[in-house]
Chain A
Amino acid sequence: MSVTDEINRVRVELGDTAATYLRNKLTGGKSNENGSRYESNFAVFKLSQCIKELQLNQNRDIELFSQAPSFVDDFVVKDNDLSRKQSFQLKNSPNISWKGGRNPIALDFQYCHRMDKEEGVEDSETILTVSDHDLHARLSSTIPDEIAHHTSCEHFEDYISSNKALIDNHAIKDALSQICCINEIDKLCHMHSIIKGIWEDHKNEGCSVKDFVQKVIEVKPEYLRSFAPPFVLESRAAVILNNIVGFSYRILDKVLNYAYSSDSGNTINGTLHLDNDSKLEEFAQKVIQNNPSSFEELWSLGVLGDL
Chain B
Amino acid sequence: MKSRTLKYEDRADINASLSRLVMPVTPSEYQHEMLTLGQYLAEKLSNRLKDEETYCVASTAEDADFLAKGVIDGLLASVADVKLACFWNHHTTPVKGGESTAPIVRKFFEKGATDCQNLIIVKSVISGACVVKTNLTDLIQKMNPNRIFVVSPVMHVDAKMKLSREFPPEISNKFDFEYFATDAERDALTNEVKPGIGGDVYKLLGFSSQEHKNSFLPELVKSKIF
B-contacting residues of A (Cβ < 8 Å)? 160-164, 166-168, 184-187, 189-190, 193-194, 196-198, 200-201, 219, 221-223, 260, 262, 264-271, 295-296, 299, 302, 304-307
User: Does B24 sit at the interface, judged by CB under 8 A?
Assistant: no
What's the nearest-Cβ distance from chain A to residue B102, in Å? 7
The answer to whether A193 and B109 touch across the interface, beta carbons within 8 angstroms, is: no
Is B50 an interface residue when CB atoms closer than 8 A count as contact? no
Complex contact B107–A164 (CB within 8 A): no
Give Cα distance in the complex from A190 to B111, angstroms.
Answer: 28
Closest to A260 in B: B225
CA distance A196 to B226 in the complex (A): 41
Asked whether A190 lies within 8 Å of B98 as measured between CB atoms, the reply is: no
B166 CB within 8 Å of chain A: yes
Per the bound structure, the CA–CA distance linking A222 and B136 in Å amounts to 22
Known contacts: A193-B101, A270-B106. The answer to whether A186 contacts B168 by CB under 8 A is: no
Contacts of B171 in A (CB 8 A): 167
A126–B151 Cα distance when bound, in Å, is: 50
Whether the Cβ atoms of B215 and A185 lie closer than 8 Å is no
Contact B94 A164 (CB under 8 A): no
Across the interface, do A167 and B214 meet the contact criterion of CB distance under 8 Å?
no
Known: A163-B133, A219-B95, A268-B225. A189 touches B101 (CB 8 A): yes
Q: In the complex where A193-B99, A200-B98 touch, is A306 in contact with B168 (Cβ < 8 A)?
A: no
The answer to whether B141 touches A185, judged by C-beta atoms less than 8 angstroms apart, is: yes
Residues of B in contact with A, size category: 35 or more
A215 → chain B, closest Cβ, in Å? 9
- CB of B167 within 8 A of CB of A190, answer no
Give Cα A185 to B139, complex, Å.
Answer: 11
Residues in B with CB closer than 8 Å to A266 are 108-111, 224-225
A219: min CB distance to chain B, Å = 5
Query: Within 8 Å CB of A187, what residues of B?
Result: 103
A198 CA to B99 CA in the complex, in Å?
11
Are A161 and B166 touching (Cβ within 8 A)? yes
> Which listed residue, B104, B109, B134, B214, touches A267 by the CB 8 Å rule?
B109
- Give the chain B neighbours of A265 by CB distance below 8 A: 111-112
Q: Is the CB of B106 within 8 A of A184?
A: no
8 Å CB contact of B138 from A185, A268, A270? A185
Establish whether residues B226 and A164, one from each chain, have CB atoms under 8 Å apart when the complex forms. no
For the complex, what is the distance from the CA of A300 to the CA of B114, rounded to whole Å? 28
With CB as the reference atom, state the residue of chain A lying closest to B109.
A267
Contacts of B140 in A (CB 8 A): 167
Could you tell me if B95 and A193 are in contact, using CB atoms closer than 8 angstroms?
A: yes
Mark interface residues in B7-28 (1 if CB within 8 Å of A CB, else 0). Answer: 0000000000000000000000
Q: Do A271 and B105 touch across chains, with their CB atoms under 8 A apart?
A: yes
Q: How far is the CA of A198 from the CA of B97 in the complex (A)?
A: 10
Chain A CB within 8 A of B165 CB: yes
B116 at the interface (CB under 8 A from A): no
Report the 10 A-B pairs with minimum CB-CB distance, sorted nearest first: A197-B95, A197-B98, A270-B106, A265-B111, A305-B215, A190-B101, A193-B99, A296-B226, A190-B103, A163-B166
B101 engages A270 (CB within 8 Å)? no
Task: Decide if B225 touches A197 in the complex (CB within 8 Å).
Answer: no
Kindly list chain B residues whose C-beta atoms are within 8 Å of the C-beta of A189: 101, 103, 134, 137
Within 8 Å by CB of B90, from A166, A194, A307, lies: A307
